[in-house]
Amino acid sequence: AHRGYALSDERIVGETSRTATLEQMLLGAVRELEAGRSPFLLHYQPVIHLAPGRLPSYEALLRWPAAAELGAGPGEFIPLAEETGLIGPIGRWVIEQAVGQGAAWRRAGFPFERIGINLSAVQLADAELEHRLAETLARHGCEARCITLEVTETALVHHPEETAERIRTLGARGYRIAIDDFGTGYSSLVQLRTLPAQVIKIDRAFIANLPASEVDAAIVRATVQVAHTLGAEVVAEGVETEAQYAFLREAGCDAVQGWYTGRPQPPEAWQASPAVARG
Ligand code: C2E
Ligand code: MG
Ligand code: MG
Ligand code: MG
């Protein structure tokens, strides 16, 4: 037991200094942003609609090369940015960048349906969000219906009513609302009653073991049924194999996203070779 303690202490110290390092780096990165330089990039991953005739959408995913060198992706540094309040300026940069990309792609005639932007709970708690989005769209000559806002169930944990109301308002302004990572929260089904979402993105945890897992297969089928009954469409996340793709198509999923249909890449890569629907 004594040895176990020593080991876990070491681990805690190691993680604390890693966290401290990342926090220092985040602070530096935000100063860079404020000075008009960006240490961040956005990559875009296609969401492939399975119905014929619909163009792909693209989700914007934050990339930070300096953190990647330490093996830290957005799943690690975004929660830190949320805790430290640094998500504010970073999220504003993401919105500016992603809307600008959408506008540039429209002007260039690049084929896409929508750009997806991830919003964290902290951003949704900001009363300025709606105004900022509208101002950014207007400045770039873009419309709300070109944008999907991805929100997670956990965004509702702290101020459920206020946040749901804010999301409803955004929906009424014409943004498409997607519930991200669906199924990983505490009360996914309850959220469906309060959140006005047009899109439900099934978390990749439920996709990973398809088609072998009967439980996951049942969960996916049930989610598709509930979503369609509510008039929402279903996107499956983390689709990596042809077998998963075939199962999801057969199960009635509306769209898929994952390595099988395209990894996140810089916008130039998609311009050179646009994502395509698969047979
Ligand atoms: P998410 O929004 O659920 O994004 C999907 C994640 O799954 C991305 O991870 C993507 O790279 C990864 N992914 C896509 N296809 C596959 C696949 O086939 N297999 C596997 N194993 N993974 C796949 P990423 O880019 O590391 O982002 C992690 C999370 O960080 C995102 O999850 C999102 O919650 C958050 N995030 C990313 N960019 C932003 C941003 O600009 N703002 C905010 N607030 N959050 C962001
Ligand atoms: Mg997302
Ligand atoms: Mg997701
Ligand atoms: Mg996810």
What are the tens digits of pLDDT across the range 246-264?
Answer: 999 999 999 999 999 999 9
- Residues 271-278 have a mean pLDDT of 85
Alpha-carbon distances, residue 74 vs 20, 87, 110, 270 (angstroms): 16, 11, 27, 21
Per the CB < 8 A criterion, the answer to whether 60 and 42 are in contact is: yes
**Antiparallel, parallel or unpaired: β 176-182 and 147-152:** parallel
Ligand 1 pocket member 258 (CB < 6 A): yes
Q: What is the maximum span of the chain, computed from C-alpha positions, in angstroms?
A: 65
Per the CB < 8 A criterion, the answer to whether 129 and 166 are in contact is: yes
What are the tens digits of pLDDT across the range 127-145?
Answer: 899 999 999 999 999 999 9
- Ligand 2 centre to CA of 1 (Å) is 41
Q: Which atom of ligand 1 is nearest the CA belonging to 42?
A: 41
Ligand 1 pocket member 78 (CB < 6 A): yes
Q: Is the dihedral of CA 243, 244, 249, 251 positive or negative?
A: positive
Instruction: Note the ligand closest to the C-alpha atom of 97.
Output: 1
Q: What phi and psi values does residue 103 have, to the nearest 5 degrees?
A: -65, -40
Alpha carbon distance 85, 79 (integer Å): 10
Residue from 118, 124, 261 to probe ligand 1 pocket by mutation (most atoms less than 8 Å from CB): 118
Q: What ipTM was assigned to the predicted interfaces of this complex? A: 0.98
Q: What phi and psi values does residue 185 have, to the nearest 5 degrees?
A: -85, -175
Phi-psi region of 20 (alpha: psi -120 to 50; beta: other; left: phi over 0): alpha
Alpha-carbon distances, residue 154 vs 136, 211, 272 (angstroms): 26, 28, 37
- Ligand 1 centre to CA of 158 (Å) is 22
Instruction: Note the ligand closest to the C-alpha atom of 257.
Output: 1
- Residues 20-45 have a mean pLDDT of 96
Ligand 1 pocket member 244 (CB < 6 A): no
- Ligand 4 centre to CA of 182 (Å) is 8
Instruction: Report the chain's C-alpha Rg in angstroms.
Output: 19
What are the tens digits of pLDDT across the range 183-222?
Answer: 887 667 777 877 889 999 999 999 999 999 999 999 999 9
Alpha carbon distance 179, 168 (integer Å): 12
Ligand 1 pocket member 86 (CB < 6 A): no
Ligand 1 pocket member 39 (CB < 6 A): no
For residue 160, pLDDT over 90 is answered with no
pTM of this structure: 0.94
Per the CB < 8 A criterion, the answer to whether 217 and 248 are in contact is: no
